[in-house]
Amino acid sequence: MKISEILNNNKVTVSFEVFPPKEWAKLADTKKVISEMVKDKPAFMSVTYGASGTTSGYTTEIANAIRQGGVTPLSHLTCLTSTKEKINSVLDELEKKGVENVLALRGDIPKDFIMSKSQYYHHAYELVNEIKARNHFCIGGACYPEVHPESKNRVEDIAHLKEKVDCGLDFITTQMFFDNEKFYNFREMCAIKEINVPIIAGIMPITNAKQIKRSAELSNASIPKKFEKIMERFGENPDVMKQAGIIYATEQIIDLMANGVNNIHIYTMNKPDVAHQIMKGLSAIINEQG
Ligand code: FAD
């Protein structure tokens, strides 16, 4: 099924994310994680793509396992360091496996990488154009409520997002954020700039205190005082921190839903128990509105 069809029916949707293994031998473990996660009936499940492309086969294999588990898969695809031939072979493979949804990404710029005019791809919109030309996939893209780290300012970032969406995106998914006000401001800016595709809010449950520092650095996400206090008090106790992180993410989602945000993506990070606890916390809302 195309994700555009899932999003366009005005119902609440909650989706999950998994990452593929780094080696073939671990594929069975990741498939086990998926078989646990599908029990919570996410609206769809995305699978990330290693920026170097060397594990692309695992991404397509995992997308296929999600589909076989009865859930719609969304396969991520990055292009910066890739050739057109490589991108097209991955897209051919996805088509063959019956995967209909792709998140079209540029990928982070690797350390010491020099952007050149001669390389195939420089920005995600070029990949969007290429996927669109196939006339087969529903296409999503990334967006940044707290501005992409490379952008000079929000105005420039939103202008590039608008160009990318106009190339044919069906939806956009946000980078993680911990302060819902940042999302509401971003949503307003998108409306002003006539970015009218569904915006899926990306929520990362922080279940250990070390994880947040790295996640926040990579994503440009600011940490609200309230969450800082939680980490100060509970960060040294893994069980308590995990529970507090799950509750914080659940409360964030409830606030978003109360403010009219119907589509939530949880960065579940191959943790079925975390996904399950959050879904349990939302069960009445999902039953009523899903
Ligand atoms: P772009 O849309 O190309 O934007 C990158 C930067 O370039 C921005 O600053 C933008 O404003 C600017 N820009 C865009 N167009 C132009 C233009 N025409 N001229 C000048 N500047 C321009 N990474 C992975 O490696 N694997 C994954 O699976 C993965 N999944 C992700 C999922 C989500 C939901 C998100 C939010 C991010 C994900 N990432 C992933 C990280 C992503 O690859 C990085 O954030 C990357 O740096 C930017 O990718 P993009 O697709 O947003 O790029």
Torsion, Cα 191 175 177 59, to 10 degrees, reads 140
Mean pLDDT of 267-288: 95
pLDDT classification of 154: cutoffs 50, 70, 90:
very high
Number of separate helices (H) and strands (E) present in the chain: 12, 8
- Asked if residue 145 has its Cβ within 6 Å of ligand 1, the reply is no
Q: Is it the case that residue 29 has pLDDT exceeding 80?
A: yes
Query: Which residue, judged by its Cα, is nearest atom 5 of ligand 1?
Result: 123
17 membership: H or E segment, kind and range: strand 13-18
Q: Mind listing the pLDDT tens digit for each residue in 223-255? A: 999 999 999 999 999 999 999 999 999 999 999
- Asked if residue 267 has its Cβ within 6 Å of ligand 1, the reply is no
Nearest atom (ligand 1) to Cα of 104: 51
Contact 200, 43 (CB under 8 A): no
User: Which pair of structure tokens corresponds to residue 132?
Assistant: 């669109």
Q: Mind listing the pLDDT tens digit for each residue in 41-52? A: 999 999 999 988
Q: Is 124 exposed, middle or buried (0-12, 13-18, 19+ CB in 10 A)?
A: buried
| The Cα angle at residue 15 between residues 11 and 19, in degrees rounded to 5 | 165
pLDDT classification of 290: cutoffs 50, 70, 90:
low
Q: Mind listing the pLDDT tens digit for each residue in 101-152? A: 999 999 999 999 988 888 899 999 999 999 999 999 999 999 999 999 999 9
Query: Which residue, judged by its Cα, is nearest atom 36 of ligand 1?
Result: 175
Q: What is the mean pLDDT of the chain?
A: 95
- Asked if residue 106 has its Cβ within 6 Å of ligand 1, the reply is yes
Residue 23's CB: how many other CB atoms inside 10 A?
9
Between the CA of 124 and the centroid of ligand 1 the distance, in Å, is 6
- Asked if residue 215 has its Cβ within 6 Å of ligand 1, the reply is no
Q: Dump strand ranges (E) for 79-123.
A: 101-105
Question: What is the full DSSP assignment across 193-241?
Answer: TT--S-EEEEE----SHHHHHHHHHHHT----HHHHHHHHHHTT-HHHH
Supply the pTM of this predicted model. 0.97
- Asked if residue 151 has its Cβ within 6 Å of ligand 1, the reply is yes
Catalytic residue status for 17 = yes
Q: Is it the case that residue 278 has pLDDT exceeding 70?
A: yes
Between the CA of 143 and the centroid of ligand 1 the distance, in Å, is 8
Give me the amino acid identity at 29.
D
Mean pLDDT of 54-67: 94
From the list 17, 93, 100, 126, the catalytic residue is 17
> Residue 155's pLDDT is what?
97
Mean pLDDT of 172-185: 98
Mean pLDDT of 6-22: 94
Question: What is the full DSSP assignment across 117-147?
Answer: TTSS-SSHHHHHHHHHHHT--EEEEEE-TT-
Closest CA to 74 of 153, 151, 14, 15: 15
Q: Mind listing the pLDDT tens digit for each residue in 204-224? A: 999 988 888 777 877 889 999
> Residue 88's pLDDT is what?
97
Coil vs helix vs strand at 168: coil
- Asked if residue 164 has its Cβ within 6 Å of ligand 1, the reply is yes
Mean pLDDT of 275-286: 95
Backbone region of residue 282 per phi and psi (left: phi > 0; alpha: psi in -120 to 50; beta: other values): alpha
